[in-house]
Amino acid sequence: MNRAYEVIIIGGGPAGLSAGLYASRARLSTLLIEKGIIGGQIANAAHVENYPGFPDGISGLELTQAMHRQAKKYGLETVAAEVIGITLNERGKVIKTTEGEYRAKAVIIAVGAEPNRLGVPGEEKFLGKGVSYCATCDGPFFKDQMVAVVGGGDSAVEEGVLLTRFASKVILIHRRNRLRASRLLQERAFANKKIEFLWDTVVEDILGPDRVRGLRVRNVKTGDRSTLEVSGVFFYVGLHPGTDYLRGLLPLDEEGHIPTGEGMETEIPGIFAAGDVRKNSPRQVITAAGEGATAAISAEKFLSE
Ligand code: NAP
């Protein structure tokens, strides 16, 4: 495989795939590097209903597979590898990966974000044994069982509603008494008889011993502790970008997001960022796609200067 490209895109979610479509359609030699499955986080979503053009919704996998096919049609190449560092030299940018080094004149970082761990005892031990971060992937294993969802954002509420297709009951545990999720999702959750809300409550411990059998929870207002008998717990307590390897190269905010200008440019000429990894990104599929396209247009301009 060629090791030198005009544009290298890191990350194969909607931002990276849109950047790939725009860059390859601009006839720039373009490589997309993805460490996991092409499609990113949204590929796990059973139903995406706010991507314009699909009035009946579309599965995240179908949507991202179509994005990939479209970009490939114009010549986008992809490689499965994990990026471990980027360095700069007089010939451009060197991208170090688990599969060797690649060189590019312009780089678009679109690595998205990964689910946060809550950090409670049992979380690692019972991963895949009742602890999950993906209701679409693992929901069917909990048919007619009681499960808990932790968090109060769009993900927790949306995935909580999805889980009611399988589980006998979903207990949504939130640390405050008000959801952060959008109104539409809240309405759906409140109307769903299978969802019970546990407000002002945090999880302190996941109980085993062999797999998840329950949760020890604490009411943050009263301090009361109780035990919930559930066979699964789904955590949706926010996302963080996996950008540790960029520290020292680019300025990052505390959580690791990359600040950019309007054209998705970073502080380093020829390096752009798009999608959930970007500071202040609205973190929607449609905005990620738009940011990816913008980054590719900016990269094209950079290359022609
Ligand atoms: P989020 O919006 O950051 O929400 C995280 C939730 O976890 C919050 O309710 C937060 O509580 C809670 N939380 C955080 N740390 C916690 C801790 N240590 N202990 C207990 N609870 C904790 O994350 P998200 O729901 O994954 O959404 C991420 C982005 O994707 C958002 O911009 C969202 O709009 C977008 N999204 C959109 C859709 C859609 O459009 N259909 C679907 C999914 C996600 P507090 O509320 O108290 O802070």
Residue 210 is a catalytic residue:
no
User: What distance in angstroms lies between residue 181's CA and the mean position of ligand 1's atoms?
Assistant: 7
Which residue lies with its CA nearest to atom 34 of ligand 1? Answer: 154
Pocket test for ligand 1, best of 283, 285, 287 (most atoms within 8 A of CB): 283
Q: How far apart are CA 18 and CA 299, in angstroms?
A: 13
Q: How far apart are CA 217 and CA 271, in angstroms?
A: 45
Mention the CATH class of domain 4-115+239-304.
Answer: alpha beta
Parse the chain into domains and list their residue ranges. Answer: 4-115+239-304, 131-235
In order, the DSSP letters of 120-170 are: -TTTTTTBTTTEES-HHHHGGGGTT-EEEEE--SHHHHHHHHHHTTT-SEE
Nearest to 286 by CA among 29, 76, 60: 60
Give pLDDT < 50 ranges for the chain: none
Nearest to 298 by CA among 270, 259, 260: 270
Are 17 and 287 in contact by the 8 Å Cβ rule? The answer is: no
pLDDT at res. 1 = 53
Are 127 and 257 in contact by the 8 Å Cβ rule? The answer is: no
The Cα angle at residue 135 between residues 256 and 133, in degrees rounded to 5: 35
Asked whether this chain's domains 4-115+239-304 and 131-235 adopt the same fold, the reply is yes
Residue 134 is a catalytic residue:
yes
> Is there an atom of ligand 1 within 6 Å of 154 CB?
yes
Pocket test for ligand 1, best of 114, 132, 175 (most atoms within 8 A of CB): 175
pLDDT at res. 119 = 97
Residue of 137, 224, 244, 253 marked catalytic: 137
Are 211 and 231 in contact by the 8 Å Cβ rule? The answer is: yes
pLDDT at res. 101 = 96
The DSSP letter of residue 259 is P
What tens digit of pLDDT does each residue of 106-117 get?
999 999 999 999
* Cβ contacts of 260 within 8 Å, gap of 6 or more: 266, 272, 273, 274, 278, 279
Mention the CATH class of domain 131-235.
Answer: alpha beta
Residue 200 is a catalytic residue:
no
pLDDT at res. 2 = 62
pTM score: 0.90
